[in-house]
Structure 1
Amino acid sequence: MSQREVPSTRPGPADVGLRFLAAAHRARGAIDRQMAAAGLTLSRIKLLQVLAGRGPVHQAELAEVLGQAPRSVTQTVEALERLQLVTRVVDPDDRRRKTVGLTEKGRSALTAGEQAGHQALECIFGALDAGQLADLDKLLACLETVPT
């Protein structure tokens, strides 16, 4: 390369990927902070959403659906139970199994948490104009098809 040639400043896939991950991390933090003001976190909201959609389920099934370790789900369920957002009932046929259900207080908290998360997303992605949102949507759709 001669002295007059300028090296390419085009970012490579890893550079863009790192920026994407950093942006996703910041967005997740903003959503968690907004939801925390409503008394929840994104992971707790996801658990409550599963219960709202499926009805009462065994803890093991809940862990499988969420793709989390059973112990992590147990800890989250215990915390939500202390807040009276879920109930746990021992299965009469197998005392080792517990069924988790959503309480009315949990349903209300879920609604408030979802609204808080929605507001955070509106704030973050509202900074983009309609064309930028459409472009981002297309790019994300492309990434969804990439095998992992």
Structure 2
Amino acid sequence: MSEHAAITAETGPEQVGLTFLTVAYGLRGAVDRHMRSTVGLSLSRTKVLQALAAHGTLHQAQLADALGQAPRSVTQIVEGLERLGLVSRADDADDRRRKTVSLTAAGSTTLAAAEEAGAHVLREIFGSLDPQQMKTMRSSLARLGTALTTE
């Protein structure tokens, strides 16, 4: 019996939860590897571009909050994205100690390519499910999402 089969043979909430975490980690890695190899952009950098596309120009602290990350981590990602010409940073007009971050035209183009690369992997993996499995998965994930918000 393979390690994966041994993990999924148990059906208690803890075992199913651990299997879910293992699969989610693997899925994230697959998406990240494909995005890096096809577009040259990691999933974490893509998330920064997505936040800017959704919210517009943000202060770096606001961007960190939107991503649920430490400001220092976001600063390093933003600096890398700026070197690639995907975002621009500017001094805040009211407080020169603060920087605002904006998505550039090249950033928008790269974001679209990165999102398509990620979607390709998701279509490939989740496409292995039949329609009933997909419906069950959607329902199960919605229920888990609700359980997370009620804690």
TM-based fold match above 0.5? yes
Q: Which runs of 5+ in 1 are unaligned?
A: 1-8
Corresponding residue of 1:6: none
- TM-score normalised by length of structure 1: 0.91
- Counting aligned pairs with the same residue, the percent is 55
Counterpart position of 2:4: none
Map 1:1-148 onto structure 2 (within 5 A): 10-37=10-37, 38-146=39-147, 147-148=150-151
Supply the RMSD in Å over aligned alpha carbons. Answer: 1.1
- In structure 1, distance between residues paired with 2:81 and 2:11: 44
CA distance in 1: counterparts of 2:80 and 2:137, whole angstroms: 36
Indicate conservation of the 8 Å contact 2:87/2:107, yes or no: yes
Deviations 1:89-123 (A, max 9, x none): 01132111000001111011000000000000001
Tell which structure's C-alpha radius of gyration is larger: 1
Question: Where in structure 2 are there 5+ consecutive unaligned residues?
Answer: 1-8
How many Å separate the matches in 1 of 2:145 and 2:105? 35
User: May I ask how many residue pairs the two structures share in their alignment?
Assistant: 140
Shift of 1:86: 0.3
Q: Larger RCO: Structure 1 or Structure 2 (Cα < 8 Å, ≥ 6 residues apart)?
A: 1
* Counterpart residue number, 1:3: none
* Higher percent of residues as helix: 2
